[in-house]
Every structure is written in structure tokens, then in C-alpha cells.
Amino acid sequence: MSDQQAKWSGDYQELVQRNVGFITAEQQEKLRSTKVAVFGVGGIGGTAFEVLVRTGIGKFSISDRDHYDATNMNRQVFAYRHTIGKLKIDVAADWAKQIDTDVEIDKFDHVDEDNIAEILEGADVAVFGIDSLGPCIIASRKAREMGIPIVEGWAIPYGNVRVFTNETPSLEEAYGLPTAGRKVADISEDELKKLNVDLLLGLGRIEGIPGFYTAETVDKIRSGFIVSFAPTVWLTAVMIALETVKVILDWGTIALADPDFTLYDPFKHRIPTVT
């Protein structure tokens, strides 16, 4: 047993024993001592969170304001008949404890400018699975201020991920948002909702996306009804989880947001371009 493994509880040893060999014991210890802030534990965020728990990340803060409903079951990893009506962060935290009895989790039922510093306190990486633009802007600004990398992706037909650091454009710059320099409190909910839809429609610059959705589906998206499908949502979530591990371990080539996504089209088995 290595010096690193001697620090692990019996439960943690059992959890990660098959990891060692794929990664080193020293790398596993780095994961155990790392804290990840996960914003949103629904479709993308919840799946990424479970994968990271199973990978042996030792500490988390998780934030989500929503409760599970029946429509979440088509894609959200902790959504079951018996969890409908329950707060997502409570369900996700309880589930994580069934996987890793040692995991430490701080829970937050909202994100705003008053608590964002607490949510990100001690975090090494932030994972974005938020579908609300206001909290996303708040969290991205504070993470940049604190020098915390952000890993994010979208629930689109293609697997996708990108990483924002202080060496890349900011999230607002990358998406061309007209919010830079403005207080989030001064941006109306109607404007935020419109910007969120505009962002989704703007993903049409990715090769193959414009022809993927029917005109009827595009109209649904314009109205704020977002379609999603478990295989593609989970594909992106796993890409996000792996990219998070890479960032923590400084492993391989990081998918930096400068400014394009790292993308995979699973339907045509190709890497699409971004115009």
C-alpha cells in the first residue's frame, strides 16, 4: 500500500481500487482532496456530479433551486417516481453518500450575489449545469474573480464541453452577451429569458445543428420549451466530468474556450465545425 492509500478509509479504498492503475494513487489522492462546485444537479449537472462522486472527488458544493417532477425522468439521473417533489440537492446528496460514505457535500438551494462566494469557497473547479442565465452570470463572474476554472456544456444533440479560465475569454465574452459590466440585479427576468433562448438558437452556427431540429421544435425552443434526450445529455455530462478530472490533474489537452466548443457528433461519428 502506498503512502497515499494509507490515508484512505476502507470504504474509500473499495470505491477507488479499480481506478488505481488507470490513474496513479497520487492522482487519486489529488481527486480525494479536491473540491468541485456543481451548479445545477439536473440533467447535465446531476449526471456529471454522480460520475465525479464515483471517480472519488472528496468534496463538493452543489446548488439547485428546483424539486423533481415527472418530466425530469427522461434524462435526470436522480429522478424517480419516489423522488418527485423532493429538492434536487437533497436527493443528489443522499445518493452520493450511498456511493462514497466519506464524501463531503455543502448544499445551496439558490445562487445569488450574496451567497456565491460561500458556494465557491475552497473550490478548485466549478461545473455548470445551470439552465438559468442569471445565476450562470453571477457564478461565472465570481469564479473568474477567484481564479476558479469553469467546465460547461449544453444539452444539444452533440457531445460538447469547454473550459473557461482567466486565460480564455470570459463566459459572457464567449457568448457575446450584452451583460458585461452590468449588475445582474439590473437585468430583468424577461431579458434573461430572452437571452437564454437566443443563446440556444445561436448554437445553430454549429455544423449540422440547423437541420437537426424541425421547424416545430425550433418554435418550441423560441417559446422557452427546451427539448432534451437522455443519451445526448449524458454524453455531454460524461465529457464534462472527464474534463473536470483533466483540469484537476492537469492531464492531457484541456478543452479551452478559445472560443469554440470541443464537439462530437454521435450520429455521423465526426467532429463538426463551428462557423
Specify the pLDDT at position 180.
Answer: 86
Please, are residues 66 and 259 in contact by the beta-carbon 8 Å criterion? Answer: no
Asked whether the predicted pLDDT for residue 71 surpasses 90, the reply is yes
| In the block, residue with C-alpha cell 473557461 | 164
User: What's the whole-model pTM score?
Assistant: 0.96
Judge contact between 156 and 233, C-beta under 8 A. Answer: no
Name which of 120-124, 164-168, 178-182 the model is least confident about.
Answer: 178-182
The neighbour count for residue 63, using CB atoms within 10 Å, is 25
- Which pLDDT score is estimated for 181? 87
Look at residue 247 in the predicted model and tell me its pLDDT: 98
Question: How far apart (Å, rounded) are the C-alpha atoms in residues 60 and 103?
Answer: 8
Alpha helices in the chain (DSSP H): 10-16, 25-32, 43-55, 88-99, 116-120, 133-146, 171-174, 189-202, 215-222, 230-249
Least confident among 94-108, 136-150, 174-188: 174-188
Share of the chain above pLDDT 70, in %: 99
Q: Which three cell numbers stand for residue 80?
A: 424517480
pLDDT of residue 162: 95
Residue 109 pLDDT exceeds 90: yes
Which tens digit of pLDDT belongs to each residue from 10-52? 999 999 999 999 999 999 999 999 999 999 999 999 999 999 9
- Which domains does the chain carry? 22-264 (3.40.50.720)
Nearest Cα residue to 260 out of 168, 177, 186:
168
Burial of 82 (0-12, 13-18, 19+ CB in 10 A): exposed
Q: What angle do CA 175, 236, 257 make, to 5 degrees?
A: 35
* 255 and 161 Cβ atoms separated by less than 8 Å: yes
pLDDT of residue 200: 83
Quick one: which of 214, 167, 213, 171 has its CA closest to 195?
171
User: Is pLDDT of 143 > 80?
Assistant: yes
Please give the share of the chain, as a percent, with pLDDT higher than 90. Answer: 79
DSSP-based three-state secondary structure for 67? strand
- pLDDT at 191 > cutoff 90: yes
Distance (Å) of CA 20 to CA 100, 178, 274: 16, 46, 37
- Cell 453518500 belongs to 97
